[in-house]
Amino acid sequence: MNNTTVVESRNARSETKALRCNLRAVLLLRAGQRFMLIAPILVPFFAHYGQDMQQIFLLESFYALMILLMEIPSGYFADRYGRVAVLRAGGLFWSLSWLSLLLVNDFSGLVVFEALAGLGTSLLSGADLALLYDTERELQQDKPDRANRAVRNLFVIGMTAEGLASLSATGLLLYGGITAVIAAQTACGLLVLAAAMLLREAPRVNSGYKSLADECGDLGRVLSSLWRQSALMRRLLATLCLWPVVTVLAIWLMQRVWVELDLTLLHFGWIWCLLQLVGALAGQGAHAVERLLGSRHAIYAIGLVALAGLLLLGAAMLSWVMVGGVLLFAVRGLFSVCFMDALNRRIDNDYRATINSLLGFGFRLGFIVAASVLGVVFDRFGLNAAVLSLGCFALLVIMLLLVPRARDADSA
């Protein structure tokens, strides 16, 4: 009996050690994926392979379509077959996409690159948060006072990686050109696969074999139950799909405002890096802000600060526009951590990846529609009209979703 107890104790310690490895490996995976050196130089990157603007738009549209089509199925696969298996598959497709650039020399080759990258992105989306959240929850059994920091840590590491990537891209372009950027980006792709291989599945209750029809039926019932559960949950789901559309569109417009105010491209990299770090710091302190202000006032603050940031984008002075950018990135950090954490506390482990992927689908679909409308407004009426239209959309989301959510936040 004593020998059995010793063996069980060793196995438990080994399991805990493996799970603790997840805490680092998932963050390393997210950092490698978000360290996108080509993001600030997307047009020169594709031009390096001889593509014109029309071809670039087609390639990016194909990439977005791949993610949109695979977003929900990838979350289902993670819940059905395990988060680690899906993350490893995602890491494989992601690394293969960058390795394929070694053989690319025409448009068709870049289509293959975008297809592999789209598959990798969709498989990694949702599953990484689900695994890290389940790992944190499992480790909480030994330390009940331990807070679940999965949402916060993933957001902070992602924003930090994006910021450092924009700064690094500038240095690589100066000293090694576009070839050095592609080589470094390929190394980051391999890093994602290496991190995925270190992962260990967090314990979950196995519900046994189910047919695809049964699984789809269960998923439909879960989603239907979530939607009917309460007005709070409906607002939470809708807000998590629509509010990120507001902030991302505002950030895109902000770069156009920089151009209109004659900010040189040389300064884009380090300014973008600083703004990303502002978002990361805001995400790091999001729970402290929520505890300090209370949930209700924290939600009001998110809406008011965002409106202030949008108003400042319409200013004619670069300094005020920069302040507006700081406010928008700070709001992005506060919102992402507080609201995503609120959702994940309320959903079942068995469908965590699927529901988080569903939010990604809702955001991308909303972004496609809103960006198309905003693009028409910009082309016909100019930048100021586009900023004003986005402000009106933000106000609508605040009044219909954020304000009602704030009213019942403290009682939730």
- Which region, left, alpha or beta, applies to residue 82 given φ > 0 means left and ψ of -120 to 50 means alpha? left
Tokens of 122: 């969709």
Q: Which residue has the higher pLDDT, 41 or 99?
A: 99
Band of the pLDDT at 8, cuts 50, 70, 90? very low
Q: Are 40 and 169 in contact (CB under 8 A)?
A: yes
Q: What is the pLDDT of residue 215?
A: 66
Asked if 309 and 366 sit in the same domain, the reply is: yes
Q: What is the pLDDT of residue 6?
A: 40
Band of the pLDDT at 170, cuts 50, 70, 90? confident
Percent of the chain with pLDDT over 90: 33
CA atoms within 13 A on the CB side of 151: 22
Asked if 180 and 248 sit in the same domain, the reply is: no
Band of the pLDDT at 208, cuts 50, 70, 90? low
Name the pTM for this structure: 0.82
**Rounded mean pLDDT of 184-211?**
81
- Summarize pLDDT for 81-105 with one digit per residue, the tens: 888 999 999 999 999 999 998 888 8
Band of the pLDDT at 357, cuts 50, 70, 90? confident
Cα separations in angstroms, 105 against 58, 71, 157, 279: 17, 29, 34, 37
- Continuous H helices in 230-317: 231-260, 268-284, 286-293, 295-313
Indicate the burial class of 212 (C-beta count within 10 angstroms; 0-12, 13-18, 19 or more).
exposed
**Rounded mean pLDDT of 202-231?**
66
- Is 217 a member of any domain? no
Lowest-confidence pick of 48-57, 135-144, 184-193: 135-144
Lowest-confidence pick of 188-192, 200-204, 387-391: 200-204
Q: What angle do CA 244, 249, 251 make, to 5 degrees?
A: 95
| Whether the predicted pLDDT of 399 surpasses 60 | yes
Quote the CA–CA distance of 374 and 380 in Å, as a whole number.
Answer: 10
Q: What is the pLDDT of residue 212?
A: 63
CATH number of the domain to which 137 belongs: 1.20.1250.20
Asked if 110 and 252 sit in the same domain, the reply is: no
- Is 276 a member of any domain? yes
Asked if 261 and 134 sit in the same domain, the reply is: no
* Number of residues in the chain: 412
Quote the CA–CA distance of 138 and 169 in Å, as a whole number.
Answer: 38
Amino acid at 240: L
Mean pLDDT rounded to a whole number for the chain: 83
Total domains in the fold of the chain? 2
- Summarize pLDDT for 118-138 with one digit per residue, the tens: 999 999 988 888 888 888 888
- Is 383 a member of any domain? yes
Q: What is the pLDDT of residue 97?
A: 94
The contacts of residue 400 (CB under 8 Å, 6+ apart) are none
- Is 76 a member of any domain? yes
Amino acid at 97: S
| Whether the predicted pLDDT of 327 surpasses 80 | yes
Asked if 238 and 139 sit in the same domain, the reply is: no
Asked if 244 and 168 sit in the same domain, the reply is: no
Q: Which domain holds residue 27?
A: 1-200
Q: Which residue has the higher pLDDT, 365 or 354?
A: 365
- Is 207 a member of any domain? no
Q: What is the pLDDT of residue 407?
A: 84
Q: What is the pLDDT of residue 197?
A: 93
Q: Which residue has the higher pLDDT, 393 or 150?
A: 393
The contacts of residue 300 (CB under 8 Å, 6+ apart) are 402, 403, 406
Q: What is the pLDDT of residue 144?
A: 59
Task: Give the closest residue to 42 by CA, choosing from 114, 96, 92.
Answer: 114
Asked if 240 and 375 sit in the same domain, the reply is: yes
Q: What is the pLDDT of residue 141?
A: 66
- Is 299 a member of any domain? yes
Asked if 251 and 186 sit in the same domain, the reply is: no
| Whether the predicted pLDDT of 51 surpasses 90 | no
- Summarize pLDDT for 220-276 with one digit per residue, the tens: 776 676 667 667 778 888 899 999 999 988 888 887 888 788 777 667 778 888 998
Band of the pLDDT at 146, cuts 50, 70, 90? low
The contacts of residue 245 (CB under 8 Å, 6+ apart) are 363, 366, 367, 370
**Rounded mean pLDDT of 139-144?**
67
| Whether the predicted pLDDT of 350 surpasses 60 | yes
